[in-house]
Structure 1
Amino acid sequence: MKRTCFCTAGILLGALLSGCDGTSDTPLQGEKKLPRQEIALGAIKAEQMVPVQLDGRQRLLLASERRGLLLLDWGGDTLAAQAGNLEQLAAQEQADGSVLVAAYSDAQAQISLYRIRQPSSGEGPAIQYLGSRSDLPPQSALCFSRQGNHTQLFAIGEDGLGHEYLIKPGIRQWALIEVRSLYFGEQVNACAVDVITQRLLISQPPLGVISLNADAEKDEERKLLISTAQLGEDFGGLWVEPATNHMWLAAGDQLQRYDLQAADAGPQWRIHIAQAHNPVSLALLDGSLLVLDNDRDALLYFDASPPLSGLREAPSGTGVVAARIPARAQTQPVVSAGDAADDPAIWVNPEAPENSLIFGTDKKRGLNVYDLSGRLVQHFAVGRVNNVDIRPITHPRYRALAAASNRTTPGVDLFAIDRSGRVEHLGLRSVSLQDPYGLCLYRNGNDLLAWVSDKVGALHQMKIQVPEDGQNWQLHQSARLDVGSQVEGCVVDDENARLFFGEEDLGVWRLDLDAFDAGGARPQLVAEADEENLVADVEGLGLYRAGDSGYLVVSSQGNDSYALYSRDGNEFIGNFRLGPNIHAGIDASSETDGLAVTSANLGAEYPQGLLVVQDGRNRMPDAAQNFKLVSWQDIREALALPDTNEP
């Protein structure tokens, strides 16, 4: 790969001292450097070099077109080899002292996984084949990321299409499970992950160095970290120091180090190479800068003493997350693309709990009904229904009613669950609201009431009356509660006559409904969005009822977690997130809007109840949004909650 540094004649002298970006160098940094040592690799056509620690010893991994995967010591001697034809590789050190390797072969059109370990017998290192993914186009960059307890691999093709894979260990074969696709455009030549900030760094000469979130459950937030105008037209060899997370690049005739916290200020330190070299990989080691020269098929050692820097600390995140819990199942994706799935509700079948149903809104299209396996069993194309809630009723034909706010024709849709478990649409009743948004139901004696929020900032109480034939049901507004800003999520504790609602920017409010009906109550802020336990936006709310006790569950959308409070909302219990279930092929969840929870025993998977949450980013692979099903038993164990099997 030819590297060129373009400078105008008017600044040629300055360029010799400071490079093409015009920043000032000390004489040591500006002088042309020759390698103090050159180690020939024997015409192996080495394409990439990665430094690793294997059982505490410093080693080098090489991708060779002629000899495959090579493990070398720092003197260039081969310690282990895996025959093949390789163009790209990535490596990640493991807790047990081994090294996980991903390597791409153009001849086989596949990415293979290997594990390198030092046998206890004292023999040389051993390379073990783990598995592969085939039928891939030419790849130009590979890099690993560690997220929670799982390992991800980013693979970017020469066509600019990238993929994130989750590494799934297996007894016989390991697998690469696709998490998401990423498009970058052509001419990507390297990637790395800043483990402190969990940012994926991409070297792409037409643009520069690009930074984006490595976590698939976050917005990409792409940023141009360093522009081509700063680097010149030819750069690559991107490598990140594990200890300090400084980034190294080869740019033109320079080897440069950047402080990732101030990369736009230009290189923090650099040296100029005196002779024509083609550095495709570089790494810092004990005061030496080691470079793989692709043209010479050699390792070059340069004397280098960049300024010392302290270890970086991870940036303080929002919210305290206690655990990552995998979902047991997930629903089929909604039909609509984009931000579409929104709010779930659970109907508990009193005679056959394993045949219970999950209602989920597709806020661009209608209402979906799923069984506990996540299979879609009914769909009602009734318009832009936003929130849904369910209550059992005493009725000659129906077991329960579900109400949903409808934003297409401002109103409330009513659905009935009959004695066989089938769902029937009873029709829509219009309301005099500008934009019906959140909705939750309330049983007060024999009365069924709905609280409906208007997106402009008020909650309206409405009474639902259903005759025996179910056809001419009535909806009458009975009360209004003004609030300061937008409300969507709400839930009512029927037994204690308490309404909880989330003011998205402020937190969760509680209203004593008996006192409100008597004309003497105002809401109390019981769970403030404090950017630690609960992070705005405050979205879905659900009540886990266990006898006289239980929990209030809140979607803390700002940090992709769920906050757990005592049933009255006064005491914070803990946070948890949903992590991937790699064995079931279910991704994590993020940006959750609505949620629903029950303490009912729904069978072997959900003996202590079920939590259903909307997933704002459905991965493994990319798909339209859906809902995740979580066993309350897993939540209880992860948060060390008291055991209870009370309904």
Structure 2
Amino acid sequence: MRVAGVVVGALIVTLGVQPAYASELPGVTASAETAPNWDDDAGGNANADDPAIWIDTKHPERSVVLGTLKNGGLTVFDLTGKEVQRFATPPAPAPDQEPGRFNNVDLVGNLAVVTDRGRDQLRTYAVKAGRLTDVTSADAPLVFSKDTEEVQEQRTAYGLAATVVSGQPVVAVTRRSEIRVGFFRLVPDGKGKVTYRPITKVDLPSSFKLTDGSTWSPCEEPGDRPQLEGMVFDRTTNDLYAAQEDVGVWRIPLNGKPELLEKVREFGQPAAYNEETEECEPTGPVSPDAGKHLSADAEGLTIAYRHGVRTLYASSQGDSTFASYRIDRRRLVYRAGFQVADGPRTDGVQHSDGAAVTTESLGPLFPHGLFAVHDGENTPGDGDREGTNFKLVRLEKLP
């Protein structure tokens, strides 16, 4: 997540950019939220990021939502937003090495899988009756790094999505600051725990040919390449939808060629990295190849299934809105945009990173389904402390 990928304001207006303003889109309000998390030492350096919804099929009203909190670990909360369980990140394996840092979470059956970007591993939890038990193998390998020295560079496990392929749990994992997506199979370790084995990997482009014949690369921090984070598998096809933050949304078949289906508004626009502001700033006009509905970063992706219709929701982090698309075979057909606005029970959502959705009835609080999202600027704040949390929205409110 890089919230401010491109500076907006007078410079953009001068260059002719027409950014989307949240006020132009309909607003929905959340019905519940979690307690604030504080990204400082006093708050345990907890920074909310990505949710996942576990459904209790016998007692849907007892379903729970899982959420990653970076250094704050993994939280589990009920449908009122009350925390019922929390798991700490593992400590650094040795002095001068990185401790655990939980980034993304997803569910496959009754297994929850988390990317530990601090230690470049996957952690796995068994879920029963809404309670989690850590079943991570003590021998879990490094996901991308060749050794612990490379782990310290923090080009580690980042985004994550899970599915079932031929009866076996499979996860896709992105690499931080890189263009790689790795696919792994979850397997028993023979000691009552869960580990993983690599299947294959895909590298997406870092530069793109524009219609005028020129080549464009997204502006990134020095040394970084255009990374991916938000992902979701289509459970009906096992295609992976992956958000390359400064590029757009890809469809990646398990056996096939990746296809860029939706571009961000900044796609093709020249920009340069400003060392003083640590931001990418536009140096030229908007490209005719640009997308219309997502402002970089393109982030959390999730799919709702109802009556044979598949709806992909995407976080447009750059303008704090969301876009929904109907999945039509190999295309994304734009349906609507919306924002999660201030309401009587909660504040609104800004710079959302992760999202999860279900169309299942979860009892009286969410009778028609749930849309759970990360809020990158929870209010009210506490002085200069950075507050984040998760918001729970009734699905029927979405346009």
Q: TM-score range by the shorter chain?
A: 0.7 to 0.9
1:322: how far off?
2.7
Give the match's secondary structure for 1:427: coil
The answer for the alignment partner of 2:147 in structure 1 is none
CA contact 2:79–2:365 (8 Å) conserved in 1:
no
Superposed, 1:277-356 pairs within 5 Å as 316-318=18-20, 321-337=24-40, 340-356=47-63
CA contact (8 A) 1:339 1:616 kept: no
Match of 2:244 among 496, 500, 503: 503
**Aligned equivalents of 2:292, 2:202: Cα separation in 1:** 29
Task: Please tell me whether the aligned partners of residues 426 and 470 of structure 1 are also in contact (alpha carbons under 8 angstroms).
Answer: no
Give the CA RMSD over aligned residues.
2.6
1:457 aligns with: 179
| 1:614 equivalent in alignment to 2:374 | yes
CA change 1:378–1:335 in 2 (3 A) is: farther
Residue 212 of structure 2: aligned partner: none
Q: Paired residue for 1:492, among 233, 236, 253?
A: 233
Cα separation, 1, equivalents of 2:32 and 2:298: 25
More contact order relative to length (CA 8 Å, sep ≥ 6): 2
Is the counterpart of residue 625 in structure 1 residue 388 in structure 2?
A: yes
1:604, distance to aligned residue in structure 2 (A): 2.2
- Map of 1:598 onto structure 2: 358
1:106-505 matched pairs, under 5 angstroms? 316-318=18-20, 321-337=24-40, 340-382=47-89, 383-392=100-109, 400-418=110-128, 420-427=129-136, 429-433=140-144, 434-455=155-176, 456-466=178-188, 471-484=192-205, 485-505=226-246
Q: Hey, which of these two has a bigger chunk of strand by percent?
A: 1
Shift of 1:339: 7.8
* CA shift digits 1:476-531 (9 cap, x unpaired): 00110111330101100122221100011111001222xx1xxxx21111111135
Distance in 2 separating the partners of 1:450 and 1:417: 17
Number of matched pairs: 313
1:316 Cα deviation from its structure 2 partner: 4.3
Distance in structure 2 (CA, Å) of the matches to 1:473 and 1:632: 33
Corresponding residue number in structure 2 for 1:539? 299
Tell whether the 8 Å contact from 1:533 to 1:574 is kept in structure 2 after alignment: no
Query: Pick from 259, 270, 285: which aligns with 1:524?
Result: 259
The corresponding residue for 1:562 is 322
Specify the code of the residue in structure 2 equivalent to 1:405: T
Once the 2 structures are TM-superposed, how far is the Cα of residue 407 of structure 1 from its aligned partner?
1.5
Superposition TM-score, scaled by structure 1 size: 0.46
Task: Assess if the C-alpha contact under 8 Å between 2:46 and 2:73 holds in 1.
Answer: no
- Residues 193-220 of structure 1, C-alpha deviation per residue, up to 9 Å, x if partnerless? xxxxxxxxxxxxxxxxxxxxxxxx999x
Cα distance in 1 for residues equivalent to 2:191 and 2:50: 25
- Measured against aligned partners, the alpha-carbon deviations of 1:62-114 in whole angstroms (never above 9, x if no partner) come to xxxxxxxxxxxxxxxxxxxxxxxxxxxxxxxxxxxxxxxxxxxxxxxxxxxxx
Contact 2:375 / 2:389 at 8 angstroms: preserved in 1? Answer: yes
Q: 1:611 & 1:432 partners in 2: Cα distance?
A: 30
Equivalent residue for 2:397? 634
Question: 1:445–1:470: structure 2 CA closer, same or farther, 3 Å change rule?
Answer: farther
How much does 1:365 deviate?
2.5
Structure of higher CA gyration radius: 1
Is the CA contact 2:325–2:335 (under 8 Å) kept in the aligned structure 1? Answer: yes
CA contact (8 A) 1:444 1:494 kept: no
Q: Which runs of 5+ in 2 are unaligned?
A: 11-16, 90-99, 145-154, 206-225, 266-290
Once residues 580 and 218 of structure 1 are traced to their aligned partners in structure 2, the CA distance between those partners, rounded to angstroms, is 22
Query: What's the TM-score once normalised by structure 2's chain length?
Result: 0.73
| 8 Å Cα contact 1:319/1:532 also seen in 2 | no
Contact 1:401 1:417 in 2 (8 A): yes
Of residues 333, 336, 347, the one that matches 1:574 is 336
The DSSP-based 3-state class of the residue aligned with 2:352 is coil
Structure 1 runs not aligned, ≥5 long: 1-216, 224-260, 262-314, 393-399, 640-647
CA apart distance, 1:547: 3.5
Does the 8 A contact of 1:409 with 1:430 survive in 2? no
Paired letter, 2:19 = G
Equivalent residue number for residue 181 of structure 1:
none
Q: Distance in 2 between matches of 1:327 and 1:340?
A: 20
Q: Does 1:512 align with 2:221?
A: no
- CA-CA distance at 1:472 after TM superposition: 2.9
- For the 8 Å contact 1:614–1:627, the answer to whether it is kept is yes
Percent identity over the alignment? Answer: 31
SS in 2 for 1:577: strand
Deviation of 1:470 after TM superposition, in Å, equals 7.6
Q: CA deviation at 1:326?
A: 0.7
